[in-house]
A = this chain, B = another copy of it.
Amino acid sequence: MTQEQLAKLFEETRLTSVNICEPLETEDTVVQPIEDISPPKWHLGHTTWFYEKFILEKFENNFKPYNEAYNYLFNSYYESAGVRAVRSTRGNLSRPLYKEVLAYRENVNDRMLSLLSKKVDTEVLQLLELGIHHENQHQELLLTDIKYILGVNPLLPGYKTMPDNEIMNIPSLDLEFLPLEEGMYNIGNNGSSFCYDNELPTHKAHIASIAISNRCITNAEFLEFIKDAGYERFDLWLSEGWTWLKENQITAPLYWFKNEGKWKYFTLHGLQDLHPNAPVAHISYFEADAFAHWKQMRLPTEFEWEIASVQFTNTNKANLLGNGILTPVPAQNYDFIGNVWEWTLSSYLPYPGYKQPDGAIGEYNGKFMINQMVLRGGSCVTPDAHIRNSYRNFFQTDKRWQFSGFRLVKEQLL
């Protein structure tokens, strides 16, 4: 992208984050019910600090930090950027106020645009592009965290009304299995546009012949698992999953509530009847794996997923952030992209030949490459520009607050 295009994208991106918070009440921007979640005003501050710390501090003339304390408060995990507040305390901090964070955003926006009004180094542009993608990522987190904040509240307030939409009334695709041929494939990002370091380098991988389901597992299908005592049969579960289930008394996906015998599902559009045809979401890796075990199938590896998503790309259809529907919809297409993140049977590890960038930017991805599983494809709250076939998301196996679902693989074609 040109400097002008990036500057424009920067402005749009900055506005989008603020717009996402617009329906919130001030109180909603403060709380942190669990450590995974960050208060919305923290997200707004942190994404701003990223530009100030990694671009302005180095490239602005006569740089002076907006507020010395903000480097402490808004640093997420960058050891190279100095000491930082303990993550679990973000929800203890009433100050800076929401409006003070907005003022901080304005200030950094102005300084960034002033910097960008003259020709800048390539390094600035690279960091800017990274900063924009970083902010995209936090836009998604903003929405998943808002969902958690509202969903954990006994009053179950909605975030925004749902746009009128026919799609909710259409049955999803019949479950079928798409064959993948054995062979050598190229894996990883080979495009010329932006990608993260963890999608590189492109490299070859061999896969055996399998068949992958044409869509994700639905709520109705997952209900069958529950009815068949899926949460009570140890033989279906990984040992660590069984311990997790027992300790946390898990009996259904997150945000499922049983009300007088009827399943309800909390969405960003408020509490709704559980939709049978929408893909199941907000499940842990353990739950996805147990379901697959129950079906005598397995999850796809991230390579199988990537190959399939490229091969069947013309039948993709994205339910992403842009359309305003903030909940998964029944699949009428293969939907590799959008709707729900899909757990894969692959650990988050470096690709062969992976090089971690130097300095703080190197802390972005590489240091998390352990004890997490890869998810692919983006969800209904992923910004449209922020997803691609090679994108590798990653979470620990017990996490459920993302829109996480799965599809299945059969090892022998029937």
Contact = CB atoms under 8 A, between A and B. Distances in A.
Interface of A: 25-33, 41, 69, 72-73, 77, 79-80, 85, 89, 91-98, 149-150, 152-155, 157, 184, 203-208, 210, 234-235, 237-242, 285-286, 289, 298, 301, 345-347, 349-350, 352-353, 362-363, 367-371, 397, 411
Contacts of A72: 154
Given A31-B92, A152-B92, A352 B79 contact: no
Contacts of A363: 235, 239
A118 B94 CA distance: 43
Contacts of A203: 208
Contacts of A149: 92, 94
Nearest to A41: B27
A201 to B, nearest CB: 10
B240 A371 contact: yes
Specify which of A69, A154, A241, A353 lies most central, judged by the most chain B CB atoms within 10 Å of its CB: A154
A226 B284 CA distance: 39
A349 B205 CA distance: 17
A203 B301 CA distance: 15
28 contacts: A25-B94, A26-B27, A27-B29, A27-B30, A27-B97, A28-B95, A30-B30, A30-B94, A31-B31, A31-B92, A69-B154, A77-B239, A79-B234, A79-B235, A79-B242, A92-B153, A94-B153, A184-B206, A205-B206, A208-B352, A235-B362, A235-B363, A238-B370, A239-B368, A241-B370, A347-B347, A370-B397, A371-B397
Contacts of A352: 207-208, 210, 301, 411
A286 B362 CA distance: 18
Given A93-B153, A206-B206, A238-B369, A349 B350 contact: no
Contacts of A80: 234-235
Given A79-B242, A203-B208, A371-B371, A27 B95 contact: yes
Listed from nearest, the 9 A-B pairs whose CB atoms lie closest are A347-B347, A33-B92, A27-B94, A79-B234, A239-B367, A206-B206, A28-B94, A26-B26, A30-B30
A362 B233 CA distance: 14
Contacts of A210: 352
Contacts of A204: 206, 208
Contacts of A397: 370-371
A359 B298 CA distance: 19
A240 B370 contact: yes
A352 B363 CA distance: 32
Contacts of A240: 368, 370-371
Contacts of A207: 352
Given A345-B349, A362-B235, A370-B241, A69 B206 contact: no
Given A27-B97, A30-B31, A289-B370, 16 more contacts: A27-B41, A33-B89, A69-B154, A77-B239, A91-B91, A93-B153, A94-B153, A203-B208, A207-B352, A237-B367, A239-B367, A239-B368, A240-B368, A242-B367, A301-B352, A353-B411
Contacts of A31: 30-31, 91-94
Specify which of A27, A33, A205 lies most central, judged by the most chain B CB atoms within 10 Å of its CB: A27
Nearest to A304: B352
A93 B30 CA distance: 10
Nearest to A68: B154
Nearest to A239: B367
Contacts of A41: 27
Nearest to A204: B206
Contacts of A97: 25, 27
Specify which of A41, A98, A155, A238 lies most central, judged by the most chain B CB atoms within 10 Å of its CB: A155
A85 B152 CA distance: 11
A257 to B, nearest CB: 14
Contacts of A286: 370
